Every structure is written in C-alpha cells, then in structure tokens.
Amino acid sequence: MSIDLNARIPNNVDLADDRRLQRALESWQPSFLNWWKDLGPEGTIDYDVYLRTAISVEADGWAHFDYVKMPDYRWGIFLAPPEEDRRIPFGEHKGEPVWQEVPGEYRASLRRLIVTQGDTEPASVEQQRLLGLTCPSLYDLRNLFQVNVEEGRHLWAMVYLLHAYFGRDGREEAEAMLERHSGDPDKPRILGAFNEETPDWLSYYMFTFFTDRDGKYQLSSLAESGFDPVARTCRFMLTEEGHHMFIGTTGIARVATRTCEVMKELKTEDPEKIRAAGAIDLPMLQRYMNFHFSVSVDLFGNELSTNAANYYTAGLKGRFEETKIDDDHELSNDSYEVTLFEEDQVKQTKQNALLAVNERLRDDYIADCQAGVDRWNKILKRNKVDFEFKLPHRGFHRAIGTFAGAKISPDGQVLTEAEWTKSSKDWLPTRSDREFVRSLMTKGVVEPGKFAGWVAPPGRGINGQPLDFEYVRLH
Ligand SMILES: [Fe+2]
Ligand SMILES: [Fe+2]
C-alpha cells in the first residue's frame, strides 16, 4: 500500500476513504500541535533536526532520515501489514478468526487498555521537555528529539484506534489524553512512573532503559491481541521502541565507560575524587538504577490480577511472545511460581497461571533488564574495575502489589523501619546525588563532535553519519 506523503496525516489505513474519521482526526490535530508547542521540547520550534520519519511500514520505508522542524514532523498512522487468516492466539476464543471490529462485550476493557497505553506516550514527552537545554552533545540531543516525536506518533496511533473504533467515547478519551499532564496535581497521568520528573540526562538514560522497556513488554502483549487493529498498531510501534531502549543501554554504558576512564586516570575508587573530576561514581549509578528499576517494575501491576486474567481469557492482551510459548494458551489448569510478600515474609508460592499473567510479564521484563546489567558489568570488567552492578530484588522500594510499602533491601532481606531508614540513602538517589548530577549539566554541549565530560562518546553515529555531524541545527 503506498502512502500519500502530502496528505495531512500520512497513513496506511486508507484514511482518504473514510471522510468521517479523517475529519475527526483533522479536528484533533490542532489540539495536538498546541499541546506540542506548550508541553513538547522547550524552545525548539525552529530547530532543524536530523530525524527518522516513518513513510511506510516496509523494512526500507520506516527509517527515512532528513532534517525536519519538529512541529512539521509527519505524525503518521501506521499499522503493521495484516497477517493472512490470523487467528486469536490465546484465551477462550483461541483459534477463531481475529476481530476487525470491537466485540461489544469487550468494548470497555479494550478502551481502557488503549487509553492506559496511550496516556504514557505524551506523558514521557512532558517529562522530558526541558532536557534539551542541558544536552551532553548534539548526538544526544537528536536522539532525545527522535524519541519525543515517536512518542508523539504513538499517541497518534492510540488516538486513531479510539477515533476509528470507539465513536463518541473514543473522541472524548482522545481529548482527555491532552488534558491530563505529567505531575499535574489535579489531572495527573494515569500511571505513577509517568508522573515522576525526568530532571537530568542520567535519569533520562535510566528512563529509556527501564521505563521504555516496560513499554516494550506492554506493547508485546498487546501485539498478540485478538483485536487485530490493536495488534497491528502495537507491532509497528515496537519497531520504533527499539531505538528508545538503545539510547538507555548505550547511554548508561557510556556513563560507566567515562567513569572507568576517570578512575584509571586518578587511580582511585573514592566517589568524592571521582565527582570532583566531573564524573559519576559507580555507587551513585547503582542508586539511580535501583530507583528506576523499582518504579518501572511497579508498572506491571499486582502480582495476582483478575483484570489481567480476564483480559487474557477474553483474548485482548496476551503474554510476551505468546505464540512461541509451548502450552495450551488457555492456562485454566496451569500454575505459575509467584514471589509474594505475606505475613512479613518474602514467599515463593504456586498460583493459578491465569491470575499470574502480570507476574509472568514482569519476570520476562526483569530477565531482559538483567541482560543490560550484564553488558554494563562487562565494561567494568574490561576496565579491571572491582565493582558489579546488580538489579535490586523485585520487592525493593515498591508502591504496587504485595510488596507495596514493605521494607526490603536490594538483596531481598526484610528490614525493620529503623534499618530501612538507616540504609535507604545508600540505595536510592539522595538529594545531594541529584544536585550533583544536575551540577554536571548546567548547560548544553552543542558544538558538533563535542561531548560533556561525564559521558563517553558513542561507538558510532546515527544512520552511518560521523560523530561530528551536525545532528541538530540550532538557529
Ligand atoms: Fe511509545
Ligand atoms: Fe518509547
């Protein structure tokens, strides 16, 4: 299917043939642009940014690079190509043809799933809106903006589904997406982690590693949905999400690399000396990891969830890589091992697999995070630095599920209130940590090829361009 790039809203959903839908989206577009100008990246209206724009869903078409002013970015609507004769892969409708229209009995549930996912997309743009002012390089600045426009496109993707399939309620939900704002005391974003600030670039790398990765798992389970438009939308979003997580993985690796260099130059492990030299000491990096991991792990919800079980049974939201799992895909007679906090103890329990669908997704997520940590530890090893990053226990610093409010150390010990108070400053970023990190980032580094002193340059540039390429033209 070819896409008319001159249409106001590039798409592969035959928008031109549906005047009602086209008009609805065109009337939402000005609100979106106003929102972008008010709450999108600060002071960037005239920047020319070397961005990737999706112009089709084929392998060679979705990564088209050119200079674009962000308000002119073509936020298109793209669904992955339909799979011929696709069948619902799980739940009580397993084996039936996938739905092209919303089944009446699942309308409210589907709408809720779409709204919850959609709400996170503009939220992250809001959280990151001031970061451009303190960028460590033009390369990083461009990557930030790439993520911002793609999260904007993901909002478009969800708003398309609401407008196309949910009538009036859908239109109201689409408006509300721009009325809730990250951290707004009256109208906050739906999920906790999306109301936290992303106040500095270390937090940003952590966010793209840990929180965008939650997005990968949520989208992957929606990509299995029996409601085919959701599945196809999420499949295409996942192709873009890869770059967001790349920024996190390589960003943290670059910070660790720079810290190792400073440690070698100064022949020291002393955090004070490392900070005095303008680098971020490894224990502080660990504290940031602990924080971002714990708030992201919360995003998977309760360990045991009847909502999740119902979504699964209905065929709305599956498991990660559902079709590759070797079981009956109905789960009514299966069990799954779940770690719970009960009677002041961490317990391994056997639970009904249906009720544990959230926990299984959390397990897949944690294993994926561990792979990143292993990668960073290799950098430390290569530099002969005697330190090892560790993911904290899943019960550490939780606000949702059975561990909510429990005092659990990063290695999984149950603590008294007093023990927690004494040690938590060693485990979570302190106010002085945050102040120090901010003090490293008081202004942007915007000379092509230059990088801030707390982060190593990346291994290579974007789209084969050199590191000193002018990734953003500021005017
Ligand atoms: Fe996204
Ligand atoms: Fe993302």
For 249-259, how does the pLDDT look when each residue is reduced to its tens digit (9 = 90+)? Answer: 999 999 999 99
In this structure, which ligand is nearest to the CA of 218? Answer: 1
In this structure, which ligand is nearest to the CA of 244? Answer: 2
For 426-451, how does the pLDDT look when each residue is reduced to its tens digit (9 = 90+)? Answer: 999 999 999 999 999 999 999 999 99
Instruction: Give the separation between CA 251 and CA 259, rounded to whole angstroms.
Output: 13
Residue type, 189: R
CA of 279 to the centre of ligand 1 (A): 30
Whether the pLDDT of residue 55 is over 90: the answer is no
Instruction: Give the separation between CA 91 and CA 311, rounded to whole angstroms.
Output: 9
CA of 254 to the centre of ligand 2 (A): 20
CA of 322 to the centre of ligand 2 (A): 22
CA of 1 to the centre of ligand 2 (A): 26
Give the β-pairing of 48-53 and 472-473: antiparallel
Whether the pLDDT of residue 54 is over 90: the answer is no
Least trusted range by pLDDT, from 60-64, 348-352, 366-370: 60-64
Whether the pLDDT of residue 395 is over 90: the answer is yes
Sorting pLDDT into bands at 50, 70 and 90, what band is 1? very low
Contact 207, 124 (CB under 8 A): yes
Per-residue pLDDT at 64: 85
222 Cβ contact list (under 8 Å, min separation 6): 113, 117, 230, 231, 234, 317
Per-residue pLDDT at 4: 56
For 195-212, how does the pLDDT look when each residue is reduced to its tens digit (9 = 90+)? Answer: 988 999 999 999 999 999
Mean pLDDT of all residues in the chain? 95
Whether the pLDDT of residue 13 is over 60: the answer is yes
Tokens of 392: 């904290």
**Interval 165-187 mean pLDDT:** 96
% residues pLDDT > 70 (the chain)? 98
Give the β-pairing of 472-473 and 345-352: unpaired
CA of 462 to the centre of ligand 2 (A): 18
Instruction: Give the separation between CA 104 and CA 125, rounded to whole angstroms.
Output: 33
For 247-300, how does the pLDDT look when each residue is reduced to its tens digit (9 = 90+)? Answer: 999 999 999 999 999 999 999 999 999 999 999 999 999 999 999 999 999 999
**H-state helical runs in 298-339:** 306-314
CA of 212 to the centre of ligand 2 (A): 5
**Phi, psi of 341, deg, nearest 5:** -110, 110
Per-residue pLDDT at 6: 55
CA of 194 to the centre of ligand 1 (A): 12
